[in-house]
């Protein structure tokens, strides 16, 4: 299929349809409203469902109700809206329903700003809502990857019966890039008759299904949490995705960076190479599960003196990198979070400072 020029937000909407998701609920918020605007027009063309809810709180539960019927369903929002949906994400995780959430991050805390940010890393990977749950979190570095990850998110959500989040920053949503839609593989949802509330008549067993997150018996709740944990462990074994950049070289500095920020870092690495300075990068594509071993191994390379986390926040992924590097190398952070993306020059200067 030929490439088309599309804005990230619109491409994410189209990707959902191509992945067989014909159900979309959302509430407007900058900088992701174009997804809703695109799908408001597009869903009727494919006999899909588009509904603008009255709040992100309500939308979270519209997603839950639809997901609990076993239907493919997605919402998109931005940071403050995701905070409001976090209650529903906890319930959906507890009830083991598949659903796709897209967070096109803006600056925070509070209303923060409307410019790009990566300030929701910890919210996305460590919780946000209450209880012991995890989402599978993927971070695209551009419009093409946003499309591919959105399309992958649905089968993954169904495989683990767990919410999947696409974590992009405002730039991913707002910029236009040429994009190619893959022929979709996994349009048919997996068998859901053993858990979904899709009407007893449609099922062979004729047994009722209950979708719930309340387990009053302490042993049953503990066992339920162990089941959830085993799913997260399975994700750690099967779903880690990352890109290694210039790691064949004898790099002195290892960058760990994701999303838009990692693309700036690639320019930095290419420019420094010309100047005779080798820098390597591990770019996590999945933030949970985190590429722990890849970061550790790359940090342990003999030539590597220091590790730096470069993020559009105040050093959130830094905590995971420190955890992975286990004190083998010095780990520090560089970044900004007001909405300005650090420039290649600024990062080059910082790396030269680290090498002094």
Cα distances (angstroms) measured from residue 12 to each of 36, 52, 53, 140, 177: 10, 17, 19, 11, 12
**How far apart, in whole angstroms, are the C-alpha atoms of residue 283 and residue 116?**
18
Q: According to the binding rule CB under 8 A, does residue 191 interact with other proteins?
A: no
Least distance to other proteins, CB of residue 20, Å: 13
CA-based max dimension of the chain:
71
Should residue 198 be labelled a site residue for other proteins when binding is judged by CB under 8 A? yes
Toward other proteins, which CB reaches closer, 25 or 121? Answer: 25
Residue 221 engages other proteins in binding (rule: CB under 8 A): no
The sheet with strand 49-52 has its strands ordered as 49-52, 23-26, 74-77, 99-105, 163-169, 136-138, 286-288
Bridge partners for 244 per DSSP: 282
Minimum separation from the CB atom of position 123 to other proteins (A): 19
Contact region with other proteins (CB under 8 A), list: 64-72, 119-127, 138-146, 261-269: 64-72
Which of 40, 69, 122, 240 touches other proteins by CB under 8 A?
Answer: 69
User: Are the C-beta atoms of 30 and 114 separated by less than 8 Å?
Assistant: yes
Give the separation between CA 99 and CA 211, rounded to whole angstroms.
14
Number of residues that bind other proteins (CB under 8 A): 40
The yes or no reply on residue 208 touching other proteins (CB under 8 A) is: yes
- Binding status of residue 213 toward other proteins by CB under 8 A: yes
Q: Which is nearer to other proteins, 157 or 287 (CB)?
A: 157
Residue 114 binds to other proteins (criterion: CB under 8 A): no
Helix (H) or strand (E) holding 7: strand 4-7
Per CB under 8 A, 225 contacts other proteins: no
CA separation for the pair 171, 173 (Å, rounded): 5
Among 28, 42, 51, 292, binds other proteins (CB under 8 A): 51
Binding mask 10-49 for other proteins (x = CB under 8 A): -------------x-x-----------------------x
Q: What are phi and psi of 91, to 5 degrees?
A: -65, -45
Binding-site ranges for other proteins (CB under 8 A) = 23, 25, 49, 51, 53-55, 57-69, 71, 73, 87-88, 91, 95, 197-202, 206, 208-214
């Amino acid at each position: 299929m030929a490439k088309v020029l599309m804005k990230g937000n619109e491409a994410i909407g189209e990707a959902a349809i191509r992945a067989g998701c014909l159900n979309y609920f959302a509430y407007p918020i900058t900088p992701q409203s174009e997804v809703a605007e695109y799908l408001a027009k597009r869903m009727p063309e494919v006999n899909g469902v588009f509904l603008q809810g009255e709040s992100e709180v309500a939308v979270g539960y519209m997603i839950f109700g639809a997901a609990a019927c076993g239907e493919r369903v997605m919402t998109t929002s931005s940071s403050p809206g995701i905070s409001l949906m976090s209650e529903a994400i906890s319930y959906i995780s507890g009830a083991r329903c598949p659903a796709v959430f897209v967070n096109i991050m803006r600056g925070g805390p509070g209303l923060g700003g409307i410019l790009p940010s990566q300030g929701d890393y910890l919210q996305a990977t460590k919780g946000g809502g209450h209880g012991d749950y995890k989402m599978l979190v993927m971070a695209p570095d551009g419009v093409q990857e946003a499309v591919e990850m959105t399309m992958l998110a649905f089968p993954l959500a169904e495989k683990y019966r767990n919410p999947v989040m696409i974590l992009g920053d405002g730039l991913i949503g707002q910029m236009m890039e040429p994009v190619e839609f893959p022929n979709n593989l996994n349009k048919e949802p997996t068998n859901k008759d053993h858990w979904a509330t899709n009407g007893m008549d449609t099922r062979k067993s004729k047994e009722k299904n209950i979708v719930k997150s309340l387990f009053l018996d302490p042993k049953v709740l503990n066992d339920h949490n162990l089941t959830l944990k085993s799913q997260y462990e399975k994700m750690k074994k099967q779903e880690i995705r990352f890109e290694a950049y210039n790691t064949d070289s004898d790099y002195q500095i290892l960058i760990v960076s994701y999303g838009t920020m990692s693309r700036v870092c690639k320019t930095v690495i290419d420019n420094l190479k010309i100047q005779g300075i080798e820098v390597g990068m591990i770019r996590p594509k999945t933030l949970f599960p985190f590429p722990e071993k890849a970061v550790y191994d790359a940090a342990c390379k003999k030539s590597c003196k220091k590790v730096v986390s470069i993020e559009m926040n105040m050093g959130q992924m830094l905590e995971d990198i420190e955890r992975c590097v286990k004190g083998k190398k010095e780990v520090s952070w560089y970044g900004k979070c007001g909405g300005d993306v650090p420039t290649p020059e600024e990062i080059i200067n910082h790396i030269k400072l680290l090498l002094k």
